[in-house]
Amino acid sequence: EAGVAQSPRYKIIEKRQSVAFWCNPISGHATLYWYQQILGQGPKLLIQFQNNGVVDDSQLPKDRFSAERLKGVDSTLKIQPAKLEDSAVYLCASSLGQGAYMNTEAFFGQGTRLTVV
């Protein structure tokens, strides 16, 4: 079974530039997550989709971050404009669960390491 695919693996940009990350979840997984993990910290949920609807985006800085999941499959996360504090690993994960409750495991991709200089 193929895992969660993310690209690119690494990205270096200057502040105020824009950047986009791509995620292809495991086939058939209804729920897709984007997490931001700053070095030494736990993953912080940015946005959670179920199919192509948003379950939660309460911690997404909407003035600069946007995400979409077209057709309920792959997803893109965009940052525009980037700030120095956005330097982190951006993890995409997916899980099978269809219902409201978190009752299935999440599978993580390798992540995209973003450095903003």
Radius of gyration of the chain (CA): 13
Quote the CA–CA distance of 20 and 67 in Å, as a whole number: 9
Confirm or reject binding of residue 5 to other proteins (CB under 8 A): no
Segment (H or E) for 96: none
Site for other proteins in 44-83 (CB under 8 A): 44-45, 48, 55-56
Quote the CA–CA distance of 109 and 17 in Å, as a whole number: 24
Q: Which of residues 30, 60, 111, 112 is near other proteins by CB under 8 A?
A: 111
Least distance between other proteins and beta carbon 99 (Å): 9
Cβ closest to other proteins, residue 63 vs residue 105? 105
Residue with token string 């299935």:
104
Q: How many residues lie near other proteins (CB under 8 A)?
A: 24
Q: What are phi and psi of 70, to 5 degrees?
A: -75, 140
Which residues contact other proteins by CB under 8 A?
A: 33, 35, 41-45, 48, 55-56, 91, 95, 100-111
